[in-house]
Amino acid sequence: MKEEQQFQEEVGYFNRRLSEILGAEMHEGRTNKILHEVLNYLREVGGKRLRPVLCLLSAEAVGVRGAGGAGSREKREKALTTAVAIELLHNASLVHDDIIDENSVRRKNPSSPAKYGEKQAIVIGDFLLGLSCEMLARCGVPAVVGLVGSAISDVARGQYLEFSLRLKNPEEVTEQTYLEVAGLKTASTFVASTTAGAILGGGSEAEVESLRDYGRNLGVAFQIQDDLLDLCGDPAKTGKPSGLDIKNRERTLLLVHALNHSKPSEKAYLREIFSSGSNFLSDSEAELEIERVREIFLNTGSVDYAIRLSHDFLTAARKSVAGLADSEAKEKLELVAGLAARSSPK
């Protein structure tokens, strides 16, 4: 598909530049074996690279005076270390997520805590966060440093709130609470990416605000889609087992909707499962309970509702950038939202 190829070209560009930057870091006295392996992992395995690509595209999409050219390349260079900083921040949060959730798989590979142990994984996450701050400082723009710094604290707040909700009665969690967690834990790094890019690209106040809204809407949509993929996605494509949110008793949008639209017997079952503080006793029991919960989420229309709400946020994201001057970067920002809409589980 042409659209997918265009996005992958952007990912390829960022990966090449990331490899150069991390390669330089590995030759500047960072000789610890585990940290060396972590940098290699980031450079060679990576992920979607969505956040850094959004940062670069946002920088290019603002203050457009003509198509492409040296101006676009200069904006990319100005935003590059910030894009790297945000990608490192994102990966640090994933390491800490895997510790909290006891995830053993990440991107089809052993997670950091599974490979190195929990204590070492904490250090790895901290190292990535510290390296992120080093990269961020190179941008030289205090407003951007403050913006990404706020995202770091927002991610932590979101992770803490998400974890604390597991201890609450599941029926006390509302859609508004879920969206608050999504906004902090996931959308905050999207907002940091697009807003920082717009600032570094020399965008006007209106352009910066448009891209801030784009990042917020896109980030919430991606969190909803992540919940859907956990339930309905193919583990061979997602790179991790399905049903982890159920196993970890996460208060997702699917659960909130199902509790409000299920039969009394289904509601009682969900209440029992999601009020339990213990993990499953065996893999076979886990599979049975995950399949039963999945069936309830489908029967109550919760999966369809989550898909519709995700698409609403993606539509809002596209509208947010509609007023930007026409450019290739703007088209690619709209493309990202379109690709996300088409990737929803059916």
Determine contact, residues 177/257, Cβ cutoff 8 Å: no
pLDDT-based confidence at 305, cuts 50/70/90? very high
Best CATH choice for the domain 2-342 from the list 1.10.600.10, 2.40.50.100, 1.10.10.10, 3.30.70.980: 1.10.600.10
pLDDT for 259:
96
pLDDT-based confidence at 222, cuts 50/70/90? very high
Percent above pLDDT 90 for the chain: 60
When the pLDDT of each residue in the chain is averaged and rounded to a whole number, the result is 88
Residue 106 backbone phi and psi in degrees, to 5? -145, 125
CB atoms within 10 A of CB 123: 17
**Mean pLDDT for the stretch of residues 48-76:** 81
Q: 210: closest CA among 194, 224, 221, 226?
A: 194
79-94: pLDDT as tens digits: 999 999 999 999 999 8
d(CA 171, CA 167): 12
